[in-house]
């Protein structure tokens, strides 16, 4: 049994806690810590069977019963808590991004060198059943050599301006998943990025220094080309699609819906809209990613999403931001740590 301590009792912390306690028999949430712990959160913890509750995350790091920690706190704390946890000998599951600062990520990488600690980054979309099917078709050679990758990722609603101002920008808080998906599906590294974008959903987002609509073109080391399109608001729901085109054919996946029913009448043909947002769309993937983390801890095997997988999407996001600002293609080699 892997005893886990969760640091951060916000939305994603609660998702992981409920997933572990209800669906992962090889693990148990023994403790949870949050600086904003209140009576309602304490009641939720106790109802779930979590008995160790604290405001200071160091209570988890110092607890000998805890084997692993899940870092679900605010982004600006991820790297520092990761380094403390590694030094305490705790296995780490860290939500993305490890940091918005490349130097911080490299500091975590240095501390990990030679350490027996497992370190997994929370890119849950890799564990979605649709994208796993695309990856399998690419890996088994069904579509031949990869030539073009297309990824569509559009949220149902734009975030608050307060969130925009603290998120690090759309490339770091939203497109980062798509940058990871390109690497995951192709098993190839990005060499150059060209990004265009604007605030077409809400002009106030532009005033806050960010964008809400973008097209990003990526050149891969194999010569393949990837195109990502993002929007902060799709009126019809959460739009998550991917296509990989190759020398022998293509593989593509569309959106998940409540059902696949299509109603055809004299008035027209109608089907259901996509599932509304990421909790509905990706809930099973959250369980699967943690299940594999627990297995890596139990069996002393490699984690499926390592720290390099955490570094590269941030590097690509930095290149995309520079491309947007300077209106030119940017090579990843230009991004200095």
Beta bridge partners of 29: 4
Domain identity same for 165 and 87: no
CATH of the domain at 79: 3.40.50.720
Q: What is the pLDDT of residue 246?
A: 98
Q: What is the pLDDT of residue 275?
A: 86
Domain identity same for 267 and 137: yes
Q: What is the pLDDT of residue 154?
A: 97
Q: What is the pLDDT of residue 335?
A: 96
Low-confidence ranges of the chain (pLDDT < 50): none
Domain identity same for 206 and 321: yes
Q: Considering the domain boundaries, does residue 322 fall inside one?
A: yes
**Domain boundaries, position 164:** 126-281+313-334
Q: Cβ neighbours of residue 290 under 8 Å, at least 6 residues apart?
A: 16, 19, 20, 24, 27, 70, 93
Alpha-helical segments (H) within 215-277: none
Measured in degrees and rounded to the nearest 5, phi and psi for residue 232 equal: -80, -15
CATH of the domain at 271: 3.30.360.10
Domain identity same for 134 and 270: yes
Q: Which of 117, 148, 166 is the last residue of a domain?
A: 117
Q: Which of 117, 143, 173 is the last residue of a domain?
A: 117
pTM of the full predicted structure? Answer: 0.95
Rg, the chain, Cα only: 20
Q: What is the pLDDT of residue 144?
A: 98
10 Å Cβ neighbour count for 147?
A: 15
Angle subtended by helix axes 175-186 and 307-326, to nearest 10: 120
Cis link prior to 146 (omega < 30° from 0)? no
Pairing of strands 239-246, 146-154: antiparallel
Whose CA is closest to 215, among 323, 133, 68, 333? 323
Question: Are the C-beta atoms of 70 and 286 separated by less than 8 Å?
Answer: no
- Type and span of the H or E element at 146: strand 146-154
Beta bridge partners of 230: 153, 214
Whose CA is closest to 241, among 163, 114, 164, 128? 128
Q: What is the pLDDT of residue 276?
A: 85
């Amino acid at each position: 049994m892997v005893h886990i301590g969760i640091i951060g009792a916000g939305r994603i912390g609660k998702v992981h806690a409920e997933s572990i306690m209800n669906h992962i028999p090889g693990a148990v949430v023994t403790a949870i810590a949050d600086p904003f712990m209140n009576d309602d959160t304490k009641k939720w913890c106790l109802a779930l069977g979590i008995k160790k509750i604290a405001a200071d995350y160091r209570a988890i790091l110092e607890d000998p019963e805890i084997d692993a920690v899940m870092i679900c706190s605010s982004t600006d704390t991820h790297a520092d808590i990761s380094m403390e946890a590694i030094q305490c000998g705790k296995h780490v599951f860290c939500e993305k991004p490890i940091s918005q600062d490349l130097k911080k990520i490299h500091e975590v990488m240095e501390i990990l060198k030679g350490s027996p600690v497992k370190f997994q980054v929370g890119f849950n979309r890799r564990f979605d059943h649709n994208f796993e099917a695309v990856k399998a078709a690419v890996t088994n050679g069904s579509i031949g050599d990869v030539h073009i990758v297309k990824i569509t990722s559009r949220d149902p609603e734009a975030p608050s301006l307060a969130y925009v101002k603290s998120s690090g920008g759309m490339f770091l808080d939203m497109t980062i998943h798509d940058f990871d998906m390109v690497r995951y599906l192709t098993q190839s590294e990005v060499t150059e990025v060209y990004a265009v974008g604007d605030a077409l959903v809400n002009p106030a987002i532009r005033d806050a220094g960010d964008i809400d609509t973008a097209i990003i073109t990526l050149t891969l080391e194999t010569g393949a080309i990837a195109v990502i399109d993002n929007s902060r608001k799709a009126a019809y729901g959460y739009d998550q699609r991917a296509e990989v085109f190759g020398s022998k054919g293509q593989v593509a996946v569309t959106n998940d819906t409540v059902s696949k029913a299509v109603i055809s009448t004299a008035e027209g043909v109608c089907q259901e809209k996509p599932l509304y947002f990421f909790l509905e769309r990706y809930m099973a993937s959250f369980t699967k990613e943690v299940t594999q983390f627990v297995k890596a801890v139990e069996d002393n095997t490699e984690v499926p999403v390592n720290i390099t997988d955490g570094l590269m999407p941030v590097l690509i996001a930095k290149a995309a931001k520079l491309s947007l600002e300077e209106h030119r293609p940017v090579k990843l080699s230009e991004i200095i740590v």
